[in-house]
């Protein structure tokens, strides 16, 4: 899966093939085809791994309302893996529009974001709007130079999700 991400980082998801991933990983092509019968299987496994890291990070955020939003900003603005890696992740997520096998992972991400937002926003429409903003902030990280930092992302998020310490916020 690391090899798959490196291929996507350099050349985009369209360049992923079992042969190219095998060459990147330094293994015979048969090793990739043994574990992943199709390109979709390989992409699903790679997206699942990416998604696991995000969902785990989201679920581990503090119960403190302000700390949780700062943590969310950190997840969105993280730069440890670099812009090419973020672009590869986003490309995998967008690929779900054309590859139904990837959609369950997108649904899992959306459910995790909604679960994070539910205690903070009672109205499902408010949560959907904030979720769309979160996805948009990830995309901005791919295209803006410099990409939005943690402070900027936090300022945006707290405007959309006011810090409430006494239960979920009501509709606006």
Higher pLDDT, 81 or 66: 66
Q: What percent of the chain has pLDDT over 70?
A: 94
The answer to whether 91 touches 43, Cβ cutoff 8 Å, is no
Spatial distance between the Cα atoms of 50 and 88, rounded to a whole number of angstroms: 10
Asked which of 63-72, 104-113, 163-172 is least confident by mean pLDDT, the reply is 163-172
**Mean pLDDT across the stretch 3-10?**
95
Backbone angles phi, psi at 64, to 5 degrees: -65, 125
Kind and range of the H or E run holding 163: none
Kindly report the length of the chain.
172
Cβ-based neighbour number of residue 117 at 10 Å: 23
Residue extents of the structural domains in the chain:
38-160
pLDDT at 167 over 70: no
β-partners of residue 113 are: none
Cβ burial of 30 (10 Å; 0-12, 13-18, 19+) is exposed
The domain defined by 38-160 folds into Tetracycline Repressor; domain 2 (1.10.357)
Record the pTM. Answer: 0.88
- pLDDT score at 80: 62
């Amino acid at each position: 899966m690391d090899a798959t991400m490196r291929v996507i980082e350099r050349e985009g998801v369209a360049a992923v093939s079992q042969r190219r991933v095998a060459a990147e990983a330094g293994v015979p092509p048969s090793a990739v085809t043994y574990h992943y019968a199709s390109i979709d299987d390989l992409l699903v496994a790679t997206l699942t791994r990416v998604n696991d890291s995000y969902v785990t990070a989201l679920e581990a955020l503090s119960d403190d309302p302000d700390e949780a939003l700062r943590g969310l900003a950190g997840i969105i603005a993280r730069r440890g893996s670099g812009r090419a890696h973020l672009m590869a992740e986003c490309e995998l997520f967008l690929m779900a529009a054309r590859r139904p096998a990837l959609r369950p992972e997108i649904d899992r991400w959306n459910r995790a974001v909604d679960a994070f937002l539910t205690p903070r926003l009672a109205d499902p429409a408010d949560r959907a709007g904030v979720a769309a903003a979160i996805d948009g902030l990830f995309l901005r990280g791919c295209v803006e130079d410099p990409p939005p930092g943690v402070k900027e992302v936090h300022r945006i998020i707290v405007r959309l999700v006011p810090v409430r310490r006494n239960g979920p916020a009501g509709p606006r």
